[in-house]
Structure 1
Amino acid sequence: MTTSVVSVTPETGVSEVARLLLERHISAVPVIQAEGGLVGMVSEGDFLRRTEGDGRLHGSWWLRLFSGPGESAAQYVKTHGRSAADVMTQDVITVTEDTPAGEIAHLLETKRIKRVPVLRDGRIVGIVSRADLLRGLAAQRDAPVASATVEDETIRKRILEEMSASDWAPTYGVSVMVAEGIVQIWGFVDSHEQGEALRVAAGNVPGVKGVELHVSNIPAHGWE
């Protein structure tokens, strides 16, 4: 999962959410309340429905008989609201840190979603996207699956702490995996120098046997 999660609050303005998606090259952002709980997600799809909608329900007249004014009012809020709380999707599918990768892949496919938040005690600690799953599969290309040990988890935690404390480190779009002392860093960076700094930071952590850097500059079209 990607642990550096960009988020907004329910009160964040719609224009600010749109700007954040464009600047960070992401297609969705979680909505988190002041207490830290996840209350929804705003995605590109929500904005598409906003631009396409006019606040009215369309379709056969007999279907509208069963929808009632409540559904029409909810649609109006989606297409005319000004805050993240107005346009967000509230029924968010989530997983935990222990959810198997295969189950996550099944969720993404069957629910037709691009990413899923990872929760711990009701609070978001990361996001797993389709790209994260592909990176994980690519990391297994040369060797059998290796189970992460307690030492590996300690190494990964120290690398993430170093990134969090550094003003040069990427704040999104980077995944760190450690197996048998080998660190693999996947994702996007702003520059070649930023990637090299990640390599050095990981290599300086005690217990690291090697660092494999699989990063590239952020593409103009964004990433999933």
Structure 2
Amino acid sequence: MKARDIMFTDFPMISLHASVGDAVRILHKNFGDESYMNAAPGIVVVNDNGELAGILSPLTILKTLGMEANEAGRPREESPEFYATLSATIKGKKVSDIMDWQAISVTEEAQLLDVADLFVANRFQRIPVVRDGKVTGLIYRSRLLFALADSLLA
């Protein structure tokens, strides 16, 4: 089996010029209900040519919130007003300001054990699949595990 055999082809993408607020809306739309509680949500970030630029994950957004909160002098009692101010600070930032500039991807022809090696070496939760620089799919760690486990269990 190859990467193309297990990749998801329906996944969220966003421009690196979009706002973090837009990214949060996309995350909420795609992963905001409880059916995705154990998923590894993230958004593929593309440049002006539609080529892979990186990944934006909820963890990256949370790290940014934490850093901004510390810079703003985090109060002892966090209030709704504090969260509103904090949110206003980051939602106007560009995705490119906070995203993970992930250069690692695989082609549609990549062998699954090679993909597994990348997951282990880099501790990613998802790896983009590209053809001619354009993202054509996304492989999640769990999807790879289950694809390999199916052949182990057969």
Q: TM-score, normalised by structure 1?
A: 0.49
- Bigger radius of gyration: 1
Residue 23 (structure 1) aligns with: 29
**Regions of 4+ moved over 3 Å:** none
Out of 40, 62, 66, which is 1:52 matched to?
66
Answering whether residue 116 of structure 2 is matched by residue 105 of structure 1, we say yes
Answering whether residue 94 of structure 2 is matched by residue 88 of structure 1, we say no
Answering whether residue 145 of structure 2 is matched by residue 134 of structure 1, we say yes
Unaligned runs of 5+ in 1: 57-78, 144-224
Report percent identity of matched pairs: 29
Hey, what's the Cα distance between the residues in 1 that align with 2:108 and 2:118?
A: 15
Hey, what's the Cα distance between the residues in 2 that align with 1:128 and 1:134?
A: 10
AA paired with 2:8?
T
Cα offset for 1:109? 1.6
Corresponding residue SS for 2:65: helix
Cα offset for 1:24? 0.9
Answering whether residue 132 of structure 2 is matched by residue 121 of structure 1, we say yes
**CA RMSD for the aligned pairs?**
2.2
| Aligned residues of 1:97 and 1:120 also touching (Cα < 8 A) | yes
Hey, what's the Cα distance between the residues in 2 that align with 1:138 and 1:21?
A: 29
Alpha-carbon displacement from aligned partner over 1:4-49 (angstroms, at most 9, x marks no partner)? 1210011221112112112211521111123211112111221121
Answering whether residue 48 of structure 2 is matched by residue 42 of structure 1, we say no
**Taking structure 1 as reference, are residues 100 and 12 closer, same or farther at Cα in structure 2, changes over 3 Å only?**
same
Cα offset for 1:111? 0.7
Residue 9 (structure 2) aligns with: 3
Residue 36 (structure 2) aligns with: none
Hey, what's the Cα distance between the residues in 1 that align with 2:102 and 2:150?
A: 32
RCO (CA 8 Å, sep 6+): is it higher in 1 or 2?
Answer: 2
Cα offset for 1:103? 1.5
Q: TM-score, normalised by structure 2?
A: 0.69
AA paired with 2:118?
L
Unaligned runs of 5+ in 2: 1-6, 32-39, 72-88
Residue 47 (structure 2) aligns with: 33
Hey, what's the Cα distance between the residues in 1 that align with 2:152 and 2:54?
A: 36
AA paired with 1:49?
K
AA paired with 2:11?
V
Hey, what's the Cα distance between the residues in 1 that align with 2:106 and 2:153?
A: 28
Corresponding residue SS for 1:140: helix
| Aligned residues of 1:41 and 1:92 also touching (Cα < 8 A) | no
